[in-house]
Structure 1
């Protein structure tokens, strides 16, 4: 009997599954279940993104991790375990933030995206990238004994951002912790259960497998509902399903227009190319005053108004923590009274941080705090500080699609960085 006999008896087409490409963002407990199921089903190409390392508490909820893996990268271990389950799988892993790793060109070349993330902002950014590239997005989440799955498919009558309140958007970088540690904004958080991770991850994987068969004339229709939320209430042991409603004030729907499929100018360079070189390409097509939109803000320098010290930087805005904006000359590194790290207090006790002082988390003694002003840019243009950096240093991800415009904003061109294709997809 062939290895895949039972799968084909379900009506699944192995050729379709082997040609499929699935992006999984998040390789924790939920991501483990998704990746495991995709491997068991024989999916041919899987990309795994997760920036975290394995800790001992992950071992009780993550089926692909072992005690010997503690300290290793989640994405790497999950990817290698998947390849062990399905040797023919082309699985690629990336141990960096999604936002700075995979660009719109990469998203546009995958069949479906599965999210298994623990912070709202990354889910919003992933949602936005999917809308820009018309890529289906199935989001999953866990909380205590509860779990839910939300489906967002083209033409996106509703999106992930539609489901959020403004308060949730404002506190988007907070991460739910399985250790019960206070989040960045002091909110209590709770643990997640391996049983619920298995249920939610299994449902996400099944929906992805069905989506890969959407045009296949099998024994029964493979339908994936669009714009629905399927919730498992682990306390009542009940499933619920309801339609999601579009938010007329959704900031993503109000600001996003899909990148046109053509014409896109592909260039044989990756994100390691100098920003100045990319600008020259745009200027050759659109005139010497052309510029390139990054689509996000980059902090290029930090300026302390107290000591007038300026430090060059290249960090995406929103990824810069308070501790990094402290002036090292004007803010003490340790508490004057007890020697406790000021940076540690700032990182773990934001409730003790005030405009011009920080109270020590150990002894509550007040210490001076001087935060530097961040200078930002969002374009590559003539005379810009961006010209001193490579695209990667400006946090432009691999295979991104960037929009170039002429000075009047009347002519545009879309440029795709195709030099990183092999790094992203390998032998896909």
Structure 2
């Protein structure tokens, strides 16, 4: 029997494709946002293709209802309330032990650093809400990356590919859709617990079909830079929508590109200064000092545009509660704290927060990660109008 190091995954199979580049696939990096039914299919297919480095992000846990549509989950995962990202990563590496899959349990907007988005070749969205797509679109465009969106409902599914300069999710939103997203994000001074998503009827077949097309598009995009000529041996869905209708056994491809010059989502962060010594585990005081010395500035001010630091919340009664957490972790804290959870059902909470962090910030010994800046992030110093990569 051949040992694992005596063969290379896909040799003599995918290499029969004239355009397939084994080394490019082996060294590729792909971020998969969402590890539910669609995410399971995408991760499984990427593992079978031999994508060398896969990052899986999901904050949710496996439930019994997931088992009917998720090939990587088992009954014991639901009974043990395992995190979807961790379970999916472990099972996919059983399929292909020659790849590396990194699970990230958290929010794709506030707990994945922009540096990771910049490092990957393509992003795949396997999400179930407009808000999550809105957030992923902004992060992908900041990092100048193409992302592949998939959605399923009933026997129907769609795949859209959004690429910088070609198409943007936010540009294609209707006024009503945008209003719903703004309602979900809430105002700056009011905590709004995220409403639970209503269950949508889906099937393992629609998930399998759409997940397969998403993975196939990722493989194509990974190979794009191999070809110096525009005459590629394949086409992609950039600026298009591919629709599968299982009820009538039909598929169609539509032009689906919208790119408005005034869209605020087109905020590509460039001219980034990489500072090897800067770390998310560094205290605020040291980080500010390092930024000043690196850039030769008298002052530095970090803008917490993704994740404000919440010192305190105040109820309408009024009652004050010292919380000391990033905004992204506030809802979870309220849910886990009986007194806050009970009170949140009867009143609104207002926040005392810090959006800009400078020498006047009173909690200088907290680390960047503790105040809400994730690992591998890119931070923007608004006083210097530059960015510094952690």
Q: Which TM-score band applies after superposition, normalised by the shorter structure? A: 0.7 to 0.9
Residue pair 2:272, 2:388 contacting (<8 A) in 1 also = no
| Aligned twin of 1:420 | none
Indicate the SS of the match to 1:99. Answer: coil
Task: Output one character per residue of 1:51-87: Cα deviation in whole Å (capped at 9) or x when no partner.
Answer: 1111111111111112222221211111111111111
Q: 1:405 to 1:161 in 2, by over 3 A?
A: closer
Work out which of the residue numbers 111, 116, 137 in structure 2 matches 1:101: 111
The normalised TM-score by structure 1 is 0.77
| Aligned twin of 1:8 | 15
| Aligned twin of 1:120 | 130
Residue pair 1:54, 1:73 contacting (<8 A) in 2 also = yes
* 1:50 and 2:62 correspond: no
| Aligned twin of 2:312 | 301
Work out which of the residue numbers 38, 49, 57 in structure 2 matches 1:41: 49
Residue pair 2:137, 2:265 contacting (<8 A) in 1 also = no
| Aligned twin of 1:353 | none
Indicate the SS of the match to 2:225. Answer: coil
| Aligned twin of 1:226 | 238
Work out which of the residue numbers 148, 157, 173 in structure 2 matches 1:147: 157
Equivalenced residue count is 367
* 1:313 and 2:320 correspond: no
Q: 1:184 to 1:144 in 2, by over 3 A?
A: farther
| Aligned twin of 1:64 | 72
Task: Output one character per residue of 1:7-61: Cα deviation in whole Å (capped at 9) or x when no partner.
Answer: 1112322111101111111111101111111111111111111111111111111
Work out which of the residue numbers 6, 30, 34 in structure 2 matches 1:26: 34
Shift of residue 267, structure 1, vs aligned partner: 3.0
Equivalences for 1:16-415 in 2 at 5 Å? Answer: 16-70=24-78, 71-155=81-165, 157-172=166-181, 189-216=199-226, 221-246=233-258, 248=260, 253-260=263-270, 262-284=271-293, 285-296=295-306, 297-304=308-315, 306-316=317-327, 320-321=330-331, 324=334, 333=342, 346=345, 369-385=346-362, 387=364, 389-406=366-383, 411-415=384-388
Indicate the SS of the match to 2:325. Answer: strand
Point out the more displaced range, 215-224 or 9-18: 215-224
CA distance in 2, matches of 1:158, 1:235: 29
- Segments of 4+ in structure 1 off by > 6 A? none
Residue pair 2:292, 2:298 contacting (<8 A) in 1 also = yes
CA distance in 2, matches of 1:328, 1:114: 37
CA distance in 1, matches of 2:273, 2:63: 43
| Aligned twin of 2:4 | none
Indicate the SS of the match to 1:392. Answer: helix
CA distance in 2, matches of 1:8, 1:380: 51
Unaligned stretches of 5+ residues in structure 1:
175-182, 334-341, 347-368, 418-428
Residue pair 2:326, 2:372 contacting (<8 A) in 1 also = yes
CA distance in 2, matches of 1:119, 1:237: 26
CA distance in 1, matches of 2:33, 2:197: 24
Q: 1:188 to 1:99 in 2, by over 3 A?
A: closer
CA distance in 1, matches of 2:141, 2:26: 25
RMSD of aligned alpha carbons? 3.1
Indicate the SS of the match to 1:171. Answer: helix
CA distance in 1, matches of 2:56, 2:300: 36
Unaligned stretches of 5+ residues in structure 2:
1-6, 185-192
CA distance in 2, matches of 1:93, 1:195: 25
The higher radius of gyration belongs to 1
| Aligned twin of 1:366 | none
